[in-house]
Every structure is written in structure tokens, then in C-alpha cells.
Structure 1
Amino acid sequence: MRTRLVPCLVQSAVTPHDIGFSRMNDTVVILNLSSRTHERRVSAILKTFVIALLSTCASADAARETPEARIFARVSPSVVGVNMGDARSNSVGEGSGVVIGAGQVITTCHVAGKGKNGHVVHSGKRYEATLQSAQPDLDLCLLNVPGLQGPAATLGSALNVKTGQHIYAIGMPIDWNPPQPILSKGVISNLRPYLRSQYMRIAVPVSSGFSGGGLFDAHGALIGILSHPEGKGGDVTFALPADWIGELPIKVRPGPEMIKKDESAWLNRALTLEKSADWRGLLKLSQQEVNLDSGNAAAWFSMGMAFANLKQYEQAVRAYREAIRNQSEYGDAWHHLGVAYANLKDYDNAIQAYRDALSMQPENAQAWYDLGLAYDDRKQHAHAIHAYREALRLDAENAAAWYDLGMTYDDLKLYGEAAEAYAETVRVQPENADAWYKLGVDYAILGERVKVRGVYQALRKLDTKRAEQYFNTYILP
């Protein structure tokens, strides 16, 4: 049986090129930042170098030709800075917001919920704001901002977003002087079906000042509201689906007394525990949530992930099945159920679960790859090759898929095809000594003596013992 890893949804295989924009005097500033940039580093880099970059960046006309610049120009006028205060006008919440109608700004209750009055900043002007309504369990608050005439964002939906999809986070940190909209490009790294939509974790470097700002798709539609839970340092990593905005009550008496517990806060904690690989902590949290709500498919799914990573696969199967019982179209639950079955060597059920997952998520490259592994374990090589090829169609940089494709061709004695697959493996992963060795073996079988010697030279740099073995077996007469 080949090595099988439990997929971890919170670790996206895509590394985003994150870009920040600031509009100053009609100039677009482009900032290249690492996706792991710490919040303080983001703020320091932006504040220290923005003026210098203004003098050296490409012309505004050229910059506006990029997709990022077009998105920024279209949606940034709908983003505002937010500062809420208590009865004594002490600041109790700072962040961003999005205009969704005349005089209406949506933000998070973490930003606005503890304040009674405050102000928003838009296009350099300050407008008084009051808390109009809220849905505390969804962490969404609506501000009434008389006189604000900013264009309303186009409401989209998070129901159809996909893991790996490129997105654009736009906020207006209120501590800038003056506050300016900033855009940062990233990807959706994780999705959880929750409360009639999809809760999103995003891979994008933004500071806590973006909380309440907008998450936009490639068409400029608002698909989420950025959320930075209290007590969490570093980047904003969650987004509340825009679908929830329509569930806000028409009117709620403002003030701290109405702010209740954020009932989705457990999901923030669950995704954080996944990221830190605290599987026992995740198991405990998920069990607590299931005890409170046995119909919570996302909690059952988190429990399954915890059991799977603790190598308790039978319990994982039961948890994933409960997630599917409560939400039958839960593609990720079907996928992970397949992985759990495969780890129990129940390959027939694994194959069925993978196929069900792919009927819902046909572009899920990891599910295609895992299906290929299961077919290989059942010695159904033709099906395995098809599955690996589909995985590689979606992700040509998947070294593991190229490697296993090569092994399958070797099993069929198709050494030319195997060599091509191994060559792709070392292209993507040049430090893979095993792939180099297998590539060299196939070249030897094919009589490619020049290439055989080339493989030997590559192996000498990676693994001298394997290189010596290869030399004695395939190079010496």
C-alpha cells in the first residue's frame, strides 16, 4: 500500500502572490508581501515605504490594466473605515466596513457591537454613525450613516466559491493618516458549509484593521465580510459569507446590552486548532459542539478530521457519515470519508466515497489523486491512470501524482511513459532522490545511456549511497 496522507484543508497548496493597493492622488501603489507576513510587519512596511513606492511604481495607467487594479478601482469606493465609541466617546472598536445601501454600512460586531455611536471615513470625509441592527450570532452589524453617498457593493454569494479560488480583500485601517483603501490578493484556503452558506478561511496577509472590510471575487461581487475574532493576533483569516447579510433583523435597539455570544465563534476556534494541528483540542471542541447541536454537519466534519489525524479511522468514518447524514451534498465530508476508508484498507468504499465527492466537486485535484491511489491499491491500473491524469490536469505541479503515475506505468511495464512521469516529478521536485533513481532505472531499461549517466550525476548531489548503488548496477558493464 502506498503512503496516504490525511488531507488538511486549512493548508492550501496554492501560495498566493499577495498585493496591497493604496489610492493616493489617483496613483495605485502595488506592494508585494509574503502570505505569512505578520500584522505588525504588514503595517510597518505599508506605512514606512508607501511614499517611496509612489515615486517608483509603474504609471497609474499601466497599473490599472491589471485585474487587481480593475477590481480595486471598481469596489474600493464601497469600502470605509469604522471607529465606534462608548457613551464617553472612548474608542471601543476599529476596523473597516462596506457600503451596502444609501447610508448603510455592514461590518462585524467585533468592530461595531460594543459601541453606541461612532464615525466612518469615506473619501477623506468623516460621517457620524450609529448602530442600527445586528445579528450577533453571525457577527454582522449594520451601521446607519446619514449623508453617506458611497456606491453600494454588488452583493454576491459564497455558495459557489471553491477552495483555491483567487479573492481580493479590501479594507480601510482607520489608524492610517489619512485612512485609505488597501487591496490584498489571496486565495480561499478552506470552506465549511455552515448556516445555509459557506464559512471561509482565506490565505491573504491583512491586518486586524481590515476586519469588517470586504472580500470580493474576480467580478467585483462582495462574497464575504472579513472577520478578525477578538483575542486573535496576526492576519485576518476568516470571512463571513455575504449570504448572511440578508438575515440581519430590520431594527435592533443599539447598545452593548444587545451583543450576545457569537454562535459561530466555535468554527473560528476549530479552524485555528486545525491550522496548529491540535487534534485533541479539536476533538474536544467538536464533541462539545455536537452535544449542543447534533445536526451541525460542520462540527461532525471537524470531529472526523480530529479522529483521522489521531489515526482513529473507524471513529472518523462514523463522524464523517454523521456529517453527510445532516448535509448530504457535503463534498469535503465525502472526500475525507474516502480517505478514512482507504486507511482502513476498505478500498471499495473509499472509491465510492471519492466518486461521490467528485460528483459534487469535479475540480478537486486532491480527490482525483486519492481516487488514483485507491484504484492502484485495487490493482485497477487503467482507472488509476485516468484519475492521476485528471489530478494533473488540475494541478500539473503535483509531484506525488506524477511519481505515482510513474509507478503505475512501471507496474504495467510501460517504461517510456513511466520515464516521462518521473521526469516531470524531478522537474517539480528536483531534490527527490527516489524519483531520480526510478527515472534512471527506466532509462537503463530503455537503453538511454547518455541519460543514465545524467541521472547518476544528479544522484551524486542528492544521495551518495544511492548514487553508488546505481553506478554499480546500471553504469558499470
Structure 2
Amino acid sequence: MKKIVLLLCVGAYLSEVAAKALDSVEIYEQVQRSVTVLEELDDTGKPLQALSAIAVASDRAVTMCDAMSGTRQLRIVTKNNSFPATILARDGQRHLCLLSVPGAELTQIVSADVNQSIQSGARVYALSNALGLGVGISEGVVSGVRPQFGVNFIQFSAPVSPGSDGGALVDAEGRLLGIITYRHHDGQNVNFAIPAKWLAEIEQHDKSDIAYKQFRETAEQLQQQEQWQKLADHVEQWIVGHQNDADAWLWVAVAAEKIGNLDNEENAWRRLHQLDPTSSVAAAGLVSVKLKRNQRAEALQLAHELLSLRQEDADIWTIVGQTEQVAGTAAKAEEAYRKALTFNPWQLAAYQGLIGIAEQRNDQGMVTQLWQSLTALNPDVPAVQFKLAEAYIREGRPARAYSLLEKLTVPDTQKADTDFWKGQTLIALGRPLDATQAFEKSLQGNPTSKASVYAALGSSYFQLQRFPESIQAYREAVRLEPNNPEWLYGLALSLKDGFRGREALEIDAQLLKKFPNDAAVWRQKGFTEAILGRHQEGIKSMEKSLELDPKQGKLWVALIETYRQAGRDKDATSAYERLRGIDSEWAEKAYRSAILPFEESQP
């Protein structure tokens, strides 16, 4: 009898131990082996973004896949190694993906009883790759179970951040309750997870939802092929019977934006926002539409409302920065961009915004510094190195740019671009002949923009006063990009100096139809007309250019000389007096070339 009592006591003690809640250290030690870092890679193998994944077998993991493009390489990173991952099955409507990770030998997570009720106030822990810093743990409580899209999401208070998508929400015994979905983030320490029981249904949904899978595959294919009208038509047919499909509305917005249908784009973003008021993607889309409609105040209000959704989201801080920049509040824009970089140091759009602000301030040193930071983060990306070389050139340090390009190791596919930038550097170094050879070498390969190379070749030939070759190069650039005003202007300039003024005037007239207030085009038109002996027409064109931009000393001199040639001596003297008040150095040149000879010729 005593033995039975003893066994009962031991059994009760063991049950009590088994039910005893673990502390955060024990939870972390137990669960962290089952939560991994998931990286989405670009075409060069560089990480684009970091997410989280949960191991459900030794070679299987699950993640939230709405944040992934669907076409990129994936990689699971453990403490000791990394393994390529592929999407084995997708539950498209729930945004869950089952990943195949051969050879990873992952530790399967332990799930809670699917029939277990989730109590508000219960202690929970979030384990995820927050901010891409590796798997960490945070503690909170269940705030409640909230219905969204007809689904009961688990709302909890444990802090999460970008990168937490696909992480694990576990109970006080380390058992999986849900999969963290950061896209449903609704404010500070107000977060959501979807039920863990859905993990077992991914493959079933992948096989059974054939129509949705076909719709999605076709949409993704059309998007990759940039067939925007076909994508719009495809999604429109699907939407008729699936009004609550958030993914479909997102494709509607993307296609409409590419086609240029602003009304359809705004309608799609609004519908998406109605379906999921917590979606920062939808709100960002609406901000973009407001900016396109020049409704800056509304855009600014929406952008700042986004921050109530995700205070730690680099994308949202970047949107705020872009909106402030368009609104003309550069200081606030800069603050927002720098905030974005504290959360994601690789946020290219934030760097681009800061570079834009620095360029507006004509702070070329800061532009160079920002590109230096980007090259440090992306040392193997040639395009970023080329932008740094360009920054050095613009800062007046072409020798530094050339040294950078000489040391650069690039794949064969990008050697033509390297030659192009070497040519630009040689132009800045005052070596147009060497630059010409570099541009011609670039054209033998496959540069990113052949039109740009031909235009640069035209410029170097122009500096060598080889006008026929310059004209030919510019004509090729215009053939490749007919509507590029820079190439047309260069062609007109070469035609003028190549004694083909009538052809140059035809291009000037074409440019002035598009840019009637461009001082440079009026100036060149005036020069060309004067060369052709059309003094009165040339005077009118020069006067128009100076009306638009009075600080053109060389043009004032040309105008004064043309006044003399046209017999308008009083106008020449009057123009000279105006020039004295604008630019004394050019006034002195004008005096020597057009005023003094006239005075000496007087009796």
C-alpha cells in the first residue's frame, strides 16, 4: 500500500514538473535550434532581405512568403553552415511556404495541441531573426484573438521587428502556437501570429487550390516578362470572382502603375487598404498616388500615419523621407532617411534620397561619402563602384576615379561598362583621344547603355574638333534614344561647329517645342543664326537666352559683337553697360573685342 501511495506521489510530482513553465533562457535553448535565418538573395548571391523560418522536419522549414519575390534564390543559415532552399509547396492565400532544405539536418519544432485554447494574458515568447541580427527572443503576453480576413489571428505583445516574418510564437513550455507575420504589425508591441495548425495544411492547399495556383503562376510570369497590360487583363478577370484577394489587388495596382492608369492604381491601393488596414504596402501605395497627383499635404499625412504601423520599418521611414523631400522639407527628409538606415543599413532607396538631398545642396563631398558607404556595403557590385567613380569625377577627383576603375575586378559581362567609365574619367583628365579609344572599346562589348557610350564618344570627338565623327556618333545615340534631349543638343552643337548650321537649326526648333524656356537651346540657336549671317534672328535668340539666364558672360560678348555686325551700335553700348554690372571680367573682354575697336575707328 505504501508503495502505491509513493508511486502516486512520484507521478504527481513528475506531472507537476512536466507542466512547470520554463524561463526565457530555457525557452531560448529549447526552441532556437528550430528557428533559422532565411535569406533571399539577388542574382549575384548577395542578401536582399533577411527573414525567419521554422523547422518542421530535418530537411523542411516553413516561412511567411508574402514578403518574398518568388523568383529569387533562398538560403537557410544555421549556426555552422548555410543551405540552399527551394519552395516545395505554397499556401498562396495564407502566404505560407513549405521549404525544402536538403542536407540541413534541422531540429523539428514541437507544436502545441491544435485543440488547445489560447488564453488572453498567457505568457508567450517570440523567436525570430529580428532586423537580420540572428535568432533572438522577446517576451510578452497574448493580448487576444482577433479576426481578420475571416481568420483568427493571435495578437501578442512580445516585440518583433522587420525580419521576424516566419518566426515562432511559443507558449511558456516552448511549444509552437503560431507563425509571426510582421506584415500585420499594428503599432508598438501590438503584433500578430497566424495559427500553427495551418502548417500541416500547406501541401494540401497547394495541391487542392489549383485555380489559385494557376492564377498566381501566370501573374508572376507576366510580371517577370513586364507584360503589364496582359497582367492587368489577367488579374481583372480573376478579381470578378475573388473580390477579397489581397494579392490580386496588389497586382492590379502594380500593373496600373506601369501602364500609367492612375485612377485604377489608386482604386486598387484603396481596396487593398480596406481589406487590410494595417498593411504598410497599401498605405505606401496611396502615398505614391497622392504624390503623383501633387497632393503633397495628403501624402505627407498618410506617410506619417504609416509610422503608427511600424516604427522600426526601414521601408516606411524611407517613404516618409521621400514624401518630405517632395514636400521640400529637406531636413526632415534627411532625418527620416537616416532613421531608415539605422534599421536597415542596406536600404538603397534611403541612400539615394540622401544623395539627392546632397546634390540639391551642391554638397558633392557628401555625395561621394554616401557612395563610399554604399561601396563598402556592396564591394562586389560593379554598378555601385561605377557610381562612386562618377562621384569622384563630379567632385573634381578624376585621378581617384581612374585608380578605382583600374583596380576593379568585374565579370566579362560588365567590362564594357568599365571601359565606358574609364572614358568618362579620361575626358575629365583632359585626355579626349584616350577617352575616344576607351569608348570605342566599350562599344565592342555589350555596355548597359550603348546610346550613352555613343553620346560620350560624340563628346570626345567634339573636343578633338573631329566634327564628322562627332556628328556620326551623336546620330547613333539619337537613333537608339530618339527622345533624349541631351543627345539631340549634342548633335546640334556638333552640326553647328561642323558648318552644317541649317541642320542644327532644325534640331534647335525641335528642342524648343519641348523646352521653350531652355536658355542653352536659345543660346545655341542664336550662335548658329549668327554664323549663318542671320544677325537679326540671332540677336532675338540670344536676347531670349539672356532673359532666361542673364549670367552668361560669353553670350553677352557674342550679343554685343552681333549688335555691331548688325549696325546696332547703341544696343551694343547698352548691352556692354549691363554686362559691367553682371560680370566685370567678361565686360572687359567685350570692351576689347567690340567696344575699343569701334572707338579707335572713330575720327
- Are 2:427 and 1:308 equivalent residues in the alignment? yes
Corresponding residue for residue 327 of structure 1: 447
1:212 Cα deviation after fit = 11
Corresponding residue for residue 349 of structure 2: 226
Measured against aligned partners, the alpha-carbon deviations of 1:106-157 in whole angstroms (never above 9, x if no partner) come to xxxxx955455699xxxxx986543669xxxxxxxxx962535998594479
- Partner-residue secondary structure (3-state), 1:181: helix
Q: Pick closer, same or farther for the CA change 1:116–1:351 going to 2, 3 Å.
A: farther
Q: Pick closer, same or farther for the CA change 1:412–1:288 going to 2, 3 Å.
A: same
Q: Pick closer, same or farther for the CA change 1:209–1:236 going to 2, 3 Å.
A: farther
Contact map agreement 2:478 2:484 (CA 8 A) in 1: yes
Larger Rg: 2
User: 344, 364, 378: which is aligned to 2:484?
Assistant: 364
Q: Pick closer, same or farther for the CA change 1:408–1:181 going to 2, 3 Å.
A: closer
Q: Pick closer, same or farther for the CA change 1:438–1:310 going to 2, 3 Å.
A: closer
User: 169, 172, 182: which is aligned to 1:145?
Assistant: 182
- Partner-residue secondary structure (3-state), 2:413: coil
Contact map agreement 1:212 1:226 (CA 8 A) in 2: no
Corresponding residue for residue 292 of structure 1: 410
1:260 Cα deviation after fit = 8.5
Q: Pick closer, same or farther for the CA change 1:447–1:319 going to 2, 3 Å.
A: closer
- Are 2:283 and 1:283 equivalent residues in the alignment? no
Q: Pick closer, same or farther for the CA change 1:261–1:347 going to 2, 3 Å.
A: closer
- Are 2:537 and 1:417 equivalent residues in the alignment? yes
Corresponding residue for residue 269 of structure 1: 388
1:234 Cα deviation after fit = 6.9
C-alpha distance in 1 between matches for 2:450 and 2:523: 30
Correspondence list, 1:19-30, <5 A = none
Measured against aligned partners, the alpha-carbon deviations of 1:252-300 in whole angstroms (never above 9, x if no partner) come to xxxxxxx9865354245334323423212222222333x4323204323
Measured against aligned partners, the alpha-carbon deviations of 1:361-396 in whole angstroms (never above 9, x if no partner) come to 223222222212211232111112223333444444
User: 122, 127, 130: which is aligned to 2:163?
Assistant: 130
Question: How big is the alpha-carbon RMSD for the aligned residues of Structure 1 and Structure 2?
Answer: 5.2
Q: Pick closer, same or farther for the CA change 1:263–1:313 going to 2, 3 Å.
A: same
Q: Pick closer, same or farther for the CA change 1:434–1:208 going to 2, 3 Å.
A: same
Corresponding residue for residue 77 of structure 2: none
Number of corresponding residues: 310
User: 308, 320, 325: which is aligned to 1:181?
Assistant: 320
User: Percent identity over the alignment?
Assistant: 16
Measured against aligned partners, the alpha-carbon deviations of 1:335-359 in whole angstroms (never above 9, x if no partner) come to 1111112223332221111111112
Q: Which has the higher strand share?
A: 1
Structure 1 portions without partners, runs of 5+: 1-82, 87-97, 105-110, 120-124, 134-142, 187-203, 214-223, 239-258
Which AA in structure 2 matches 1:295?
A: T
Q: Pick closer, same or farther for the CA change 1:436–1:127 going to 2, 3 Å.
A: same
Moved more, 345-354 or 384-393: 384-393
1:398 Cα deviation after fit = 4.2
TM-score (norm 2): 0.41
C-alpha distance in 2 between matches for 1:412 and 1:422: 14
Corresponding residue for residue 347 of structure 1: 467
C-alpha distance in 2 between matches for 1:373 and 1:226: 36
Correspondence list, 1:35-434, <5 A = 112-114=131-133, 116=135, 128-130=161-163, 145=182, 147-148=184-185, 154-155=253-254, 174=311, 181-182=320-321, 183-185=323-325, 207-210=337-340, 226-228=349-351, 263-264=381-382, 265-289=384-408, 291-296=409-414, 297-324=416-443, 325-327=445-447, 330-434=450-554
C-alpha distance in 2 between matches for 1:284 and 1:185: 34
Measured against aligned partners, the alpha-carbon deviations of 1:41-78 in whole angstroms (never above 9, x if no partner) come to xxxxxxxxxxxxxxxxxxxxxxxxxxxxxxxxxxxxxx
Which AA in structure 2 matches 1:314?
A: L
Contact map agreement 1:211 1:226 (CA 8 A) in 2: no
Q: Which has the higher helix share?
A: 2
Contact map agreement 2:51 2:132 (CA 8 A) in 1: no
C-alpha distance in 1 between matches for 2:389 and 2:481: 23
- Partner-residue secondary structure (3-state), 2:163: strand
C-alpha distance in 1 between matches for 2:388 and 2:407: 12
Which AA in structure 2 matches 1:412?
A: L
1:84 Cα deviation after fit = 9.6
Q: Pick closer, same or farther for the CA change 1:409–1:311 going to 2, 3 Å.
A: same
TM-score (norm 1): 0.50
Contact map agreement 1:279 1:309 (CA 8 A) in 2: yes
Contact map agreement 1:117 1:130 (CA 8 A) in 2: no
C-alpha distance in 2 between matches for 1:339 and 1:157: 39
Which AA in structure 2 matches 1:207?
A: Y
Query: Which structure's relative contact order is higher, taking Cα pairs within 8 Å and 6+ residues apart?
Result: 1
Q: Pick closer, same or farther for the CA change 1:398–1:84 going to 2, 3 Å.
A: same
C-alpha distance in 1 between matches for 2:350 and 2:452: 23
Contact map agreement 2:522 2:542 (CA 8 A) in 1: yes
C-alpha distance in 1 between matches for 2:502 and 2:401: 39
C-alpha distance in 2 between matches for 1:333 and 1:421: 31
Contact map agreement 1:212 1:225 (CA 8 A) in 2: no
Corresponding residue for residue 120 of structure 2: none
